[in-house]
Amino acid sequence: MESTGTTPPPAATSPREQWRAQGYLVLRNVLKASHIARLRTIVEHVYAQWRTCPMTSEPGDYGYEPNAWIILHLNHPGRFREHPEYLRDLLDTIAEPVAIRTLEQIMGEVPLFSQAAMFINPPGHTRPGNWHRDCQYQTEGEEQERAAVRDEADPPREVHLNIPLLSTRHTWVVPGSHLRWDTPEERDIRLHHSTTKELPGAVRLELEPGDLAFFHVNSLHRGTYDKDMLRRTLNLTYSRASIVRPASGVEELNRTKGYVSTFQPWCLKPGYLDGVRPETREFFERFIRTYLDSWRPEYLSDALGAGRLAYFRDF
């Protein structure tokens, strides 16, 4: 880890304690080289498929363009029409036993799938990325935001897991910030200079293929997206099974252009889980049971446009 601050993170005695104190945890060399090579094949296939999709058929307009930095919903079966076996291997990776066991330890309960995305280097323009806490996008006003930081701290409401498929130095976290509100300086930088100034004490995660990097969604963190530095990092999000965030209805889906992370009706496609490991099946069946009731056809309206309607209906 490279630190910009003067105070090194305190020595941690166990992964659980490191998580609790720092709000992030890196496990080294978990995935074998052959697994990473397979994932590279899979994500290059996804990239090539996604590249051909018009913006208006991707949720939230997260489609291919010079500024693109993320591909959402890697687990959409439409990405794998010619290679269903790629989908199976991707689902098995999302439910990877070491990752799930670690999440159980961190969360103190069973983890629930939420989203599978991938960070990429933008095709045209470097994106500095902004310091943020994820809860700032899910709350309104400082009072709610402070309450989320407080209530979702430990155990965490949600955890991101970054799986780099190439060496990467593009994720920054402020250790311990998941447990407390911003200092005045942090607040000023997060709100007014989020892409131009460094946060004191931030560490840059130095990740190699095979590593698993967990971080708290409400920690102060940032990604950077350098157009000239090939980036392929899976970004998986898990919540605690007791905390769910279903799509609330047609208004929300229209407002977000179809991007509500757990709105994934394609999981109901017959055969979606064919060939996965038994524990992967159990893991995704829990996700399906939890969100099934929110995957309602009536949540999809013409306002989404024909491309997105097809994305959610014809997989």
Ligand X SMILES: O=C(O)CCC(=O)C(=O)O
Q: Which of 19, 50, 80, 119 binds ligand X (CB under 6 A)?
A: 119
In the complex, the smallest distance separating the C-beta of residue 96 from ligand X, rounded to whole angstroms, is 18
243 class by beta-carbon count within 10 Å (0-12 exposed, 13-18 middle, 19+ buried): middle
204 binding ligand X? (CB under 6 A): no
134 vs 152 by CB, closer to ligand X: 134
In the complex, the smallest distance separating the C-beta of residue 294 from ligand X, rounded to whole angstroms, is 23
**What's the one-letter identity of residue 259?**
Y
135 vs 276 by CB, closer to ligand X: 135
- Of 93, 132, 139, the residue nearest 113 (C-alpha): 93
115 binding ligand X? (CB under 6 A): no
In the complex, the smallest distance separating the C-beta of residue 27 from ligand X, rounded to whole angstroms, is 16
User: Residue 174 in 3-state DSSP?
Assistant: coil
In the complex, the smallest distance separating the C-beta of residue 134 from ligand X, rounded to whole angstroms, is 6
Size of the site for ligand X (CB under 6 A): 9
127 binding ligand X? (CB under 6 A): no
In the complex, the smallest distance separating the C-beta of residue 260 from ligand X, rounded to whole angstroms, is 16
Q: Which string of x and - marks every residue 166-185 that binds ligand X (by CB under 6 A)?
A: ----xx--------------
Sign, CA dihedral 189-190-191-196, equals: positive
221 binding ligand X? (CB under 6 A): yes
- Of 175, 178, 27, 20, the residue nearest 107 (C-alpha): 20
Q: Which of 22, 235, 264, 294 binds ligand X (CB under 6 A)?
A: 235
In the complex, the smallest distance separating the C-beta of residue 173 from ligand X, rounded to whole angstroms, is 9
Structure tokens at 121: 């280097």
Place of tokens 């965030």: 245
Place of tokens 């995660």: 205
CB-based contact 265:300 (threshold 8 Å): no
DSSP symbol at 127? B
User: Residue 221 in 3-state DSSP?
Assistant: strand
Strand 203-207, strand 2-3: pairing: antiparallel
Q: Which of 59, 63, 223, 258 binds ligand X (CB under 6 A)?
A: 223
162 binding ligand X? (CB under 6 A): yes
Give the binding site for ligand X (CB under 6 A): 119, 134, 160, 162, 170-171, 221, 223, 235
